[in-house]
Homo-oligomer: A and B are copies of this chain.
Amino acid sequence: MAQKTHRVVFQPDGRTLNVRAGQTILEAARAAGIPMESPCGGKGTCGGCRVIIPRDAPPPSAACRRELSGEEIRRQMRLACRVRIDRDLRVVIPEETRLGDQKILTEGVERNVALAPNVRKVAVHLPPPSVSDQRADGERLLDALAEKGLPDLTIDVKTARDLPERLRSLEFHPAVVVIGDEVVHLDRPGATEACYGMAFDIGTTTLVGYLTDLTTGRVVAVASRANPQTAYGDDVIARIEYCGREKNGARTLQTLVIDAMNEMAAEACRRADIKPSVVYEVTMVGNTTMNHLLLRLPVTQIARAPFVAASAAAHSVAARDVGLRIHPLGRLYTAPLIASFVGADTVGVILATGMHEGDALRLALDIGTNGEIVLGTGQRLLACSTAAGPAFEGARIRYGMRAATGAIDRVDLEGDKLILHTIDDAPAAGLCGTGLIDAVAAMVEGGVLGANGRMRAAADGVAGRPALARRLVGGDGETAFLLADKKETESGHPILLTQQDVREVQLAKGAMAAGVEMLLEEFGAEIGDVEEVLLAGAFGNFIRPDRALAIGLLPRVPAGKVKFVGNAAGAGARMLLANRHLREVADDVARGVEHVELSQRPDFQARFADAMFFPAGKT
């Protein structure tokens, strides 16, 4: 298709533009200045960019079928990033897709946050000095700001140095940028609207940044990246070891993540058509290691008993001091930490889910390389971390991979037939975390795995499931289960799930389950008392609760109690950007949460061993 253009009308805005054929609806919406949810950055994996194409909708793509319900597809809902424009279109953007409501949305959880950002940009008119009003420029400005309802501010010396010239060139009518209690910059009077911040969720594996208009609280662009530190280790322990081994290791890792954040900020600014110099503040949540590497705090003592952080406090530093390229006098706020392995990301989850408020007993699980678990009510919150291991992120699994094209992401058992699904319907390339859970669940259900996780020997067969039995390969000690045969795979080699893989899953789910049990016991509650189980994090988002319940990764609660809260950590970072008062709440949460060190509990090992068993299978 050549450089043909089509006319697209966005509703309810009514904005119309001509777009090049072949562009996606998401790209066209960005070009039209309509910000849309797209946490995955347009890869078709997050389901954020739902739009309705009322007439003549294209057939749903594989990604649409995966992300949307049958009912949604019938309503002509599609993913904007997956629809390439090949005709004139009318596109309706539902409220849920539109970014930047002051409500901070995460799937299933919605928190109202008053807009009270730490950065304010206020236009003031100053009376020019005269011989009868000789107040210094600084005091004149502070007096005017106090009259505007911003009392008790100070002016940094760096800002004061430019003040006389700036004030006069702006004819005593500046737009004043205030960060916290400090005047940092004087902009043109018309520039009060140009006031942005960016909230980052710095994960071990994934970085997400939300560029936010601080005058409205709306997210105007989202950027994400794989954490480039991954090249130096899949998990935080490996990265800490790298820092201990290499003289400039910590500096290398710091530079990598800062460079990525700068790229993300630049990309988001480009999309929103603003300059990075009107981004005045960055907020960040991340685990303790990510936090310390970013701030250039030492990390080696985190990984050595007794495992302590250098500083658990929130910090506010000059963005420039850590290498962030936003406004030269902009600030970086890092949210406080709970413990060495329960970081600011968990504080973000608590803030976003409101677990620190109300009387309901709730349980939040953030399943990743480390599994963080929070249990409690507004009166008392407990948290622990478990070394769940990176099995669900594809590591330490023979054919494990990330959730990318070709990954087996769903496995269903119909009778004794396995139904596989791969991302983008591509030939199978490996097994991602959700596929792994599904596969193990199917093997438990089909009687291939015993409650102790032992795979039946190929010679023994599987009662009543001859097709399944045929998938068992290898002799004793090396038994494996054939998931995809060579005809189904990209490489032409079969994809197997080994006994060792099952053991990894057992370790991971056992650690999570034992952690939940320990917290329940410490709290003095039973699992039946828990009113909601909140699944946080990108991975948690894709889990099918019945399968996770089937293998015992989730505690035994009715599936209706399980709620997906998406990237709640990132939502926490956005809340801390939108409302400075929440920073005190975050401090209280970080210091108030009781950290339970599982390794110190004499009965943890026994429970862990118990929890590695699968719930009784159907054999």
Q: Which of B133, B140, B164, B307 contacts A131 (CB 8 A)?
A: B307
A135 to B164, CA, bound (A): 47
User: Would B339 and A157 count as touching, CB distance under 8 A?
Assistant: no
B134–A595 CB distance below 8 A: yes
Known: A308-B129, A310-B161, A313-B154. A134 touches B597 (CB 8 A): yes
* Given known A129-B308, A139-B311, A312-B139, contact A165–B134 (CB-CB < 8 A): no
A interface, CB within 8 angstroms of B: 129-140, 142, 154-155, 157, 160-161, 163-165, 295-298, 300-301, 305-313, 315, 317, 321, 337, 339-340, 591, 595, 597, 599-600
Neighbouring B residues of A140 by C-beta, 8 Å: 308
Chain B residues lying within 8 Å of A599, measured Cβ to Cβ, are: 131
Closest chain B residue to A162, Cβ basis: B298
Which single member of B154, B160, B315, B595 contacts A157 (CB below 8 Å)? B315
Q: A131-B597, A157-B295 are in contact. List 15 more A-B contacts (CB 8 A).
A: A129-B306, A133-B306, A134-B339, A136-B308, A136-B337, A136-B339, A136-B340, A140-B308, A157-B321, A160-B311, A161-B295, A161-B296, A161-B297, A164-B301, A165-B298
Q: Say whether chain A's binding surface is mostly helix, strand, loop, or mixed.
A: mixed
Roughly how many angstroms separate A129 CA and B308 CA in the complex, as a whole number?
7
* 30 pairs from A and B in contact (CB 8 Å cutoff): A130-B306, A131-B306, A131-B307, A131-B597, A131-B599, A131-B600, A134-B306, A134-B597, A135-B308, A135-B312, A136-B312, A136-B313, A136-B340, A137-B310, A138-B309, A138-B313, A139-B311, A139-B312, A139-B313, A157-B295, A157-B296, A157-B315, A157-B321, A160-B295, A160-B297, A161-B297, A163-B298, A164-B298, A164-B301, A165-B298
Give the CA-CA distance A599 to B134 in the complex, in Å: 12
Whether the pair A138, B307 counts as a contact (CB closer than 8 A) is no
CB nearest neighbor in B for A600? B131
Contact between chains at B132 and A597 (CB < 8 Å) = yes
Cross-chain contact A161 with B307 (CB below 8 angstroms)? no
- 5 residue pairs, one from A and one from B, having the closest CB atoms: A138-B311, A136-B309, A136-B312, A160-B311, A131-B306
- Decide: B600 and A132 in contact? CB cutoff 8 A: yes
Q: Which of B154, B163, B305, B310 contacts A164 (CB 8 A)?
A: B310
How far, in Å, is A206 (CB) from chain B's closest CB? 25
Most chain B C-beta atoms within 10 Å of own C-beta, residue among A157, A298, A321, A337: A157
Which residues of the partner chain B approach A315 to less than 8 Å between Cβ atoms? 157, 160
CA–CA, A134 and B311, complex, Å: 11
Q: How far is the CA of A295 from the CA of B155 in the complex (A)?
A: 13
